[in-house]
Amino acid sequence: MEPPVQDAIPPAISSRAVASAQKDWRAWLKTQGISAARFQQRAWTAFLEGRSGIISAPTGSGKTLAALGGPVIAALSERHAGVDPHVGFRMLWITPLRALATDTRERIVGPVQSLLPQWQVAMRTGDASARDKRLSQGTQAQLLITTPESLAILLSHERSLDQFSHLQSIVVDEWHELLPSKRGVLLQLNLARLRTLAPRLQIWGLSATIGNLDEALDVLVRDRPRSQMEILQDDRPKPFHLHSILPPASTRLPWAGHLGLANLGEVAKLVLSTSSSIVFTNTRSQAELWFTALSSIWPEEADTLAIHHSSLDQHVRLQVEDGLRNGRLRCVVATSSLDLGVDFPAVDRVIQIGGARSVARTVQRAGRARHRPGAPVHMDGVATQAMDLCEFAATRELAQEQIYESRKPLALCFDVLSQHVMSMALAGGFDAEALLREVRSSAAFEALDATDWSDVMDFLTRGSSSLAAYPEYERLTANEEGRYVPANARVAGRHRMSIGTIFSHTAFQVQYLRGARLGSIEETFLARLKPGDVFNFAGRSLVLVRIENTTAWVRRSNTIGTHTPSWAGSLMAMSARVGERMQTLLAQAITHDAASSASAPLSRELRYLLPLLRLQQQRSHVPAENELLIEQIDPASPKRASGGKKQQDAPRAASLFVYPFAGRVVHEGLALLLATRIAQAQPNTFSWNCNEIGFMLHPENPIDASAIDWQGILSGDHLEADLQAAINFSELARKRFKEIAQIAGLVTTRMPGSRIPDRQLQVSAGLLFDVLSKYDAEHILLRAARREALDQELHLPTMRESLARMSIQHRVIARSEKHTPFSFGLWAESFRGQLSNESWSERIKRLSVQSDEPTMREGAPPRRRRTNPS
């Protein structure tokens, strides 16, 4: 039986009061010069009728007003009817970023203060003021802007019953960003709690770019029949333009690489031709390098150029964001830290260095410029290597067709569930059966069975059977009434300090000897430096003075540094949609060239790539969209030594190059899997390299590509077992366990004032992993670690989809004595990690000349990721 649905406005409120409220709202819009769009009016009507749903519209279309109007009209109706305002929160606005929370507050305070002067607006994030904290802890505020973590902290207090019992509406901003993460799982559990506290609650999600809207809606809204759920989209056209910047005529675009600095002069011209620009890069190290390069030729005041990424200190990032808002900054070099919907009306141009690897990310970044309803979305793309041009063309087509990637939600995250259960114990205790029903009302845990629930409770009450003898692992206990409460006050305090799902990696703070902190860098980078070395960070040249505990003390340097930090996990996965469209476009281009017909003209990117594609077709093949290309490149013939005799080197095995066009992250797992399965038929040793279009397998013993059982090699059968056999799977599970143990509270984060370093806490997690593996192999957190190692480290679901696609494609096996444009980048990257006193680029140039291959024109490609073999 479907649950009953109540209107947002109680029946006691007269239609006259509602009409007066709507009139007031329209009058305020008129004073602001705002003409309501159709999707906004539909959103206000849907809210007043008691509906919940998702508002999906391009960046800058007015989603904020669409979500705000309904609750404001409802509150105005009660005011006109003389109903006393309820004590406690009436509306929650949840954002994924603190910076976005600050920006949202500035946008919604105006209409709220004008129309509802009796309402107090508070913000509860890590940046909250003393006034905001006071308001959020009491019942005086009616509208609260917060993040998932801060909301979880509020709900862990007993006062939450009074604060949230009259809650009417929730807006979840950038829902597509939260949906596929553990932060989204934590939010789902907190929404389940809020639905229990406030049964009349309506929930609306805001999203600009997401491919699976129906699934996103089902995860967000759980307590209403489908007939009372809405997906509202802005049907106004918003043209998308992506202009590729081709390299100068004297410069040939490389076949591999990742910096794109050959276009530095052109980028500088574009930046200086507009009032304010954002230059996006895909990694933090790339942002630091581009900022340093731009600084070296910057003709204006130095403080008009800035850098922004997630490893910079909060005060540094806030200064940059303020500079973008008020137009003081001419250019900011940024990473995904500025992807989300922070409003920068002064920004007129967005430049993307290299492909952004997904349609959604590209459109999101492009929307940072001209952030105004109806304005066309424009981006300039700077290719760092040849295939970036094809990616730009593919992304542009998909964006114009509004085909976006899906964001798949997570399920059964037992570490997040354990944390939430502890929070509910702090909020006055709970009945186990009632909480289980509430937890199962969320999409993430609707499949939670009684055994897993019992294991979670056992973990929280005694740690496990192997840890039961240690009282510090007892965190829950049942009181006389049978309700579960914290075991002691120390447990409660420690838990509240560690609420959240953002895992803290071991990092060192960078701080001036006499001044502010600049941000954090990883220990592995600092280990390569000695006092006196100069490195680039936060847009500054810094001298390392000394390292104490977890702080790197520095001072400014007038010399540009020779070292730039890199951060783990900075590779972006290319989406399958983009890869498939790239393959289609390449095949269409070579077919168009061969036909020489008067068909539709090629894009400028593909026209530029035609010479490369002709060479690819000459030496090998350009695969159609239903083909899987497998190249076998024979080793170069022996070279003559200086004495005129041939070197008598042992014959080298030919390398295999496979091109699924599935992205680097998936190719890592596919290379590992295929190498393992080929070696099962014939003992061998493989090395491999990957990029966005394919991967290379280099065997020590020769193999014949035509003799391989490719149908069996590409089978999805026994996939999990083969992957676990291929690597030291225990180490991958250990890596995931450290994060899971911290989120679940088995290993606590470092408390303020604690002298225990983060490194020691991570060692403790490793020891617990060993103990549980030996004595309690089916511990619920170990099972979670193994599952996450498969799904998030080896990307098992995506790999399964890729194998299914590859197995039905027509396989084309091509042999060549020379490298092809497709294979060259993979071959070039294989020289990284070898001992040589030549630079990477010098060595590639020399080897290219020797083997009659094209030369590289710029720096090295991204460093290869390695997976430990078994």
pLDDT class of 865 with cuts at 50, 70, 90: very low
**Residues 295, 297, 303: CA angle, nearest 5 degrees:** 40
| Residue partners of 353: CB distance under 8 A and separation at least 6 | 260, 267, 279, 280, 281, 282, 286, 290, 382, 384
Which helix (H) or strand (E) segment holds residue 485: the answer is strand 484-486
pLDDT class of 568 with cuts at 50, 70, 90: low
Closest CA to 415 of 832, 788, 108: 788
Which position has the token pair 């973008």? 324
Could you give the CA distance from residue 93 to residue 172 in angstroms, rounded to a whole number? 6
DSSP secondary-structure letter at 469?
A: T
* Averaged pLDDT for residues 398-417: 94
Could you give the CA distance from residue 264 to residue 272 in angstroms, rounded to a whole number? 12
pLDDT class of 841 with cuts at 50, 70, 90: low
Asked if 747 contacts 420 with a C-beta cutoff of 8 angstroms, the reply is no
| Backbone phi, psi, residue 307, to 5° | -130, 150
| Backbone phi, psi, residue 63, to 5° | -65, -35
**Residues 722, 725, 729: CA angle, nearest 5 degrees:** 115
Per-residue pLDDT of 85-106, as tens digits, reads 667 899 999 999 877 888 888 8
Fold of 240-400: Rossmann fold (3.40.50)
| CA terminus-to-terminus distance, the chain | 54
pLDDT-wise least confident of 268-282, 513-527, 568-582, 850-864 = 850-864
Per-residue pLDDT of 113-126, as tens digits, reads 999 998 999 999 87
Per-residue pLDDT of 532-561, as tens digits, reads 999 999 989 999 999 998 899 999 998 888
**Residues 386, 391, 396: CA angle, nearest 5 degrees:** 135
Asked if 66 contacts 55 with a C-beta cutoff of 8 angstroms, the reply is yes
**Helix ranges, 52-155 (H):** 63-80, 98-115, 130-137, 148-155
pTM of the model: 0.87
The percentage of residues in the chain with a pLDDT greater than 90, rounded to a whole number, is: 57
Closest CA to 167 of 87, 255, 248: 87
Per-residue pLDDT of 163-221, as tens digits, reads 999 999 999 999 999 999 999 999 999 999 999 999 989 999 999 888 999 999 999 99
Per-residue pLDDT of 784-807, as tens digits, reads 999 999 998 888 999 999 999 999
* Averaged pLDDT for residues 707-723: 92
Whether residue 757 is predicted with pLDDT greater than 70 in this model: the reply is no
DSSP secondary-structure letter at 282?
A: S
Helix (H, G, I), strand (E, B) or coil at 777: coil
CA distances, 801 to each of 59, 576, 675 (Å): 31, 10, 19
Mean pLDDT score across all residues of the chain: 86
Note the pLDDT of residue 2.
46
Note the pLDDT of residue 857.
34
Per-residue pLDDT of 506-540, as tens digits, reads 678 999 998 889 999 988 788 889 999 999 999 89
Closest CA to 500 of 866, 164, 104, 156: 156
DSSP string, 786-809: HHHIIIIIS-HHHHHHHHHHHHHS
Closest CA to 206 of 372, 60, 339: 60
Tokens linked to 320: 């940059």
Could you give the CA distance from residue 383 to residue 388 in angstroms, rounded to a whole number? 5
Query: Is there a shared CATH topology between the 15-233 domain and the 240-400 domain?
Result: yes
Which position has the token pair 């799902």? 501
DSSP secondary-structure letter at 626?
A: T
Fold of 411-502: Arc Repressor Mutant, subunit A (1.10.10)
Q: Other CB atoms closer than 10 Å to residue 6's CB: what's the count?
A: 11
The percentage of residues in the chain with a pLDDT greater than 70, rounded to a whole number, is: 87
Domain map (residue ranges) of the chain? 15-233, 240-400, 411-502, 507-556, 576-640+650-726+810-850
Bigger pLDDT: 851 or 58?
Answer: 58
Whether residue 247 is predicted with pLDDT greater than 90 in this model: the reply is no
Whether residue 651 is predicted with pLDDT greater than 60 in this model: the reply is no
Bigger pLDDT: 3 or 259?
Answer: 259
Which position has the token pair 């507050």? 105
Helix 63-80 to helix 15-31 angle (10° resolution) is: 140
Whether residue 15 is predicted with pLDDT greater than 90 in this model: the reply is no
pLDDT class of 45 with cuts at 50, 70, 90: very high
Bigger pLDDT: 638 or 241?
Answer: 241
Helix (H, G, I), strand (E, B) or coil at 688: strand
pLDDT class of 47 with cuts at 50, 70, 90: very high
| Residue partners of 492: CB distance under 8 A and separation at least 6 | 426, 486
Asked if 110 contacts 68 with a C-beta cutoff of 8 angstroms, the reply is no
Whether residue 446 is predicted with pLDDT greater than 80 in this model: the reply is yes
* Averaged pLDDT for residues 267-283: 94
Bigger pLDDT: 829 or 358?
Answer: 358
Note the pLDDT of residue 251.
66
Note the pLDDT of residue 574.
87
**Residues 54, 97, 325: CA angle, nearest 5 degrees:** 100
Helix 414-426 to helix 182-197 angle (10° resolution) is: 40
| Residue partners of 742: CB distance under 8 A and separation at least 6 | 498, 503, 504, 748, 749, 761, 765
Please identify, in words, the CATH class of the domain defined by 15-233. alpha beta
Bigger pLDDT: 858 or 98?
Answer: 98
Could you give the CA distance from residue 636 to residue 616 in angstroms, rounded to a whole number? 18
Note the pLDDT of residue 766.
84
Note the pLDDT of residue 138.
81
Bigger pLDDT: 858 or 757?
Answer: 757
| Backbone phi, psi, residue 207, to 5° | -155, 140
Whether residue 647 is predicted with pLDDT greater than 70 in this model: the reply is no
CA distances, 364 to each of 395, 399, 448 (Å): 12, 11, 35
Note the pLDDT of residue 418.
97
Q: Other CB atoms closer than 10 Å to residue 94's CB: what's the count?
A: 26
